[in-house]
């Protein structure tokens, strides 16, 4: 089943219903959007000679065109490769090469970032809004290309502990299951309801596009293209019953924003990507009322492992309300979740172990990476790398991460990736990167360095090699790093040392 059929049927049945908005202004209705996607599909297949299963990359900032591009790619039977527009050109080049993308659509200006790093396998780099871009929509529309449920739809690039991103293969089945779970358990959608894309459409927010197309919702893209609290509040006034996915740091900024907000117009504020401090959740609840929901998931099981419902978050009279507010909620109905020991044996309530899950939302594997796929999916379960425990009521509590992932402002940052860049400096002998707890960002990146390089030099090195949000916010220079008898750096001890500095 091709996900593009959801847009196709909406275009036939409700052509005049609003589908896409730029800020407060409707820019496409369902009939127009479906037609545009069908004509783009024709351009991709006939003009660019792409074949079913080929990959098409999207390196774009949030924009109204994103929806037509995504659905046009699927309509043609192709797979989308949405990439974070904030990545460094070298990082984008790796994704383009590893995915084997033949075509890349880029926002104006990002083509200059990509071009120096574009692999030979990339045949066309097309700027959104250009003459070449619009020519693709001048082609005749084609019928929706049939797809099997397990055909690749979205390559979701998520970094691993090696520092190289891995492409989680999300199929039409995966995305359909995740979309239906969202609409059933997180945020029921009625025709005309809006989803505001203030978080990147290449990741979490974009994964909620499909549920709103299925239910005839409106995709609202802020005119700024990103997250500005005052603009978000204005859009909530313009679009009653609007929802928004946000990282906890974004919700914290909304709480602290002095501008007026019509809370009654908010359908749901969904947070994910990182845990939220209980006190911050309470402050959000006090300001916005019973309109908050939480999801826990990964790129490998997109947005769909467990959820803490609006009812649970707002149920102040429950005797274990605060305890539940600190949890990641209960498993989605369509997902089986287990906390397991090192031998993948299930553990009982209160026992801590690795969180495993399986179900139709779980990826079939990583793109062109059999070893990583086998490790992540051994025994038929997705091994999340997260450590947690169930309580007696079946609520999942995240304890820690078995991997050294840093989550800052909802973005995943892997220490080794940063360490490898810092170690290229001739005056850095050793380095270890950790996350330091931070009330605004969740965590910030901190580099412990052995050597006599200066912080400004290291900062410039990082800015030249990796995305800005990944660079360390603090450099601590030490004579030696803590190690065990085998010479392995002890990050746990390093975190303890770091905590003592406060």
User: Where are the chain's structural domains?
Assistant: 4-390, 406-500
Selecting from 3.30.300.180, 3.50.50.60, 3.40.50.300, 3.30.300.30, what CATH number does the domain 406-500 have?
Answer: 3.30.300.30
CA separation, residue 220 to residues 26, 78, 242, 252, 499 (Å)? 8, 25, 9, 21, 42
Q: What would the CATH number be for the domain defined by 4-390?
A: 3.40.50.12780
Which pair of structure tokens corresponds to residue 472? 């360390």
% of the chain residues with pLDDT over 70: 97
- Per the listing, tokens 């979205």 go with 154
d(CA 172, CA 145): 13
* Pairing outcome for strands 382-390 and 353-359: antiparallel
d(CA 456, CA 55): 39
Per-residue pLDDT of the chain (502 residues; tens, 9 = 90+): 999 999 999 999 999 999 999 999 999 999 999 999 999 999 999 999 999 999 999 999 999 999 999 999 999 999 999 999 999 999 999 999 999 999 999 999 999 999 999 999 999 999 999 999 999 999 999 999 999 999 999 999 985 444 688 999 999 999 999 999 999 999 999 999 999 999 999 999 999 999 999 999 999 999 999 999 999 999 999 999 999 999 888 998 999 999 999 899 999 999 997 778 788 899 999 999 999 999 999 999 999 999 999 999 999 999 999 999 999 999 999 999 999 999 999 999 999 899 999 999 999 999 999 999 999 999 999 999 988 899 999 999 987 666 677 889 888 787 878 987 898 898 998 899 999 999 889 999 999 999 999 999 999 999 999 999 999 999 999 999 998 644 568 888 899 999 988 6
d(CA 450, CA 421): 14
What is the phi-psi region of residue 440: left when phi exceeds 0, alpha when psi lies from -120 to 50, beta otherwise? alpha
Q: What pTM was estimated for this model as a whole?
A: 0.87
Asked if 362 contacts 382 with a C-beta cutoff of 8 angstroms, the reply is yes
* Number of CB atoms found within 10 A of residue 375's CB: 12
d(CA 231, CA 215): 25
Query: What are 352-394's pLDDT values in tens digits?
Result: 899 999 999 999 999 999 999 999 999 999 999 988 899 999 9
Query: What are 399-414's pLDDT values in tens digits?
Result: 766 667 788 988 878 7
Q: Could you tell me which of 353, 352, 372, 355 has the C-alpha nearest to residue 364?
A: 372
Query: What are 47-69's pLDDT values in tens digits?
Result: 999 999 999 999 999 999 999 99
């Amino acid at each position: 089943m091709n996900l593009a059929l959801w847009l196709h049927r909406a275009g036939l049945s409700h052509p005049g219903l609003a589908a896409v908005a730029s800020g407060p202004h409707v820019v496409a209705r369902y009939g127009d959007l479906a037609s545009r996607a069908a004509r783009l599909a024709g351009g991709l297949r006939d003009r660019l000679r792409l074949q079913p299963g080929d990959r098409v990359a999207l390196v774009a900032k949030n924009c109204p065109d994103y929806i037509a591009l995504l659905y046009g790619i699927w309509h043609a039977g192709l797979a989308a490769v949405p990439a974070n527009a904030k990545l460094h050109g070298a990082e984008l080049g790796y994704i383009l090469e590893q995915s084997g993308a033949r075509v890349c659509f880029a926002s104006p200006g990002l083509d200059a970032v990509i071009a120096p790093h574009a692999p030979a396998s990339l045949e066309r780099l097309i700027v959104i809004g250009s003459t070449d871009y619009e020519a693709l929509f001048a082609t005749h529309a084609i019928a929706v290309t049939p797809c099997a449920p397990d055909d690749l739809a979205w390559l979701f690039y998520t970094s691993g502990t090696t520092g190289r991103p891995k492409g989680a293969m999300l199929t039409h089945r995966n995305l359909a299951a995740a979309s239906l779970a969202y609409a059933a358990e997180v945020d029921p959608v009625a025709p005309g309801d809006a989803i505001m894309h203030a978080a990147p459409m290449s990741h979490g927010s974009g994964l909620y596009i499909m549920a709103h197309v299925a239910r005839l919702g409106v995709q609202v893209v802020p005119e700024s293209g990103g997250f500005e609290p005052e603009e978000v509040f204005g859009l909530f006034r313009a679009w009653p019953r609007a929802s928004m996915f946000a990282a906890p740091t974004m919700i914290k900024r909304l709480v602290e924003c002095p501008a007026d907000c019509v809370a009654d117009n908010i359908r749901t504020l969904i947070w994910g990507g990182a845990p939220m401090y209980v006190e911050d959740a309470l402050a959000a609840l006090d300001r916005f009322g019973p309109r908050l929901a939480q999801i826990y998931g990964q790129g490998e099981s997109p947005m769909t492992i467990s959820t803490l419902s609006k009812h649970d978050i707002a149920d102040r009279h429950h005797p274990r309300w605060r305890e539940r507010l600190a949890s990641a909620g209960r498993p989605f109905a369509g997902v089986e979740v287990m906390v397991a020991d090192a031998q993948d044996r299930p553990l009982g309530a209160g026992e801590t172990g690795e969180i495993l899950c399986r179900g139709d939302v779980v990826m079939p594997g990583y793109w062109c990476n059999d070893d990583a796929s086998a490790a992540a999916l051994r025994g038929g379960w997705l091994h999340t790398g997260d450590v947690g425990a169930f309580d007696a009521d079946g609520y999942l509590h995240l304890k820690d991460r078995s991997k050294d992932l840093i989550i800052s402002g909802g973005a995943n940052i892997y220490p080794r990736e940063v360490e490898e860049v810092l170690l290229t400096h001739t005056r850095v002998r050793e380095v270890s990167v950790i996350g330091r707890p931070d009330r605004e960002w969740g965590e910030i990146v901190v580099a412990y360095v052995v050597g006599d390089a200066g912080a400004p030099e290291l900062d410039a090195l990082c800015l030249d090699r990796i995305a800005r949000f990944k660079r360390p916010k603090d450099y601590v220079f030490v004579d030696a790093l803590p190690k065990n008898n085998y010479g392995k750096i002890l990050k746990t001890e390093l975190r303890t040392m770091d905590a003592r500095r406060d």
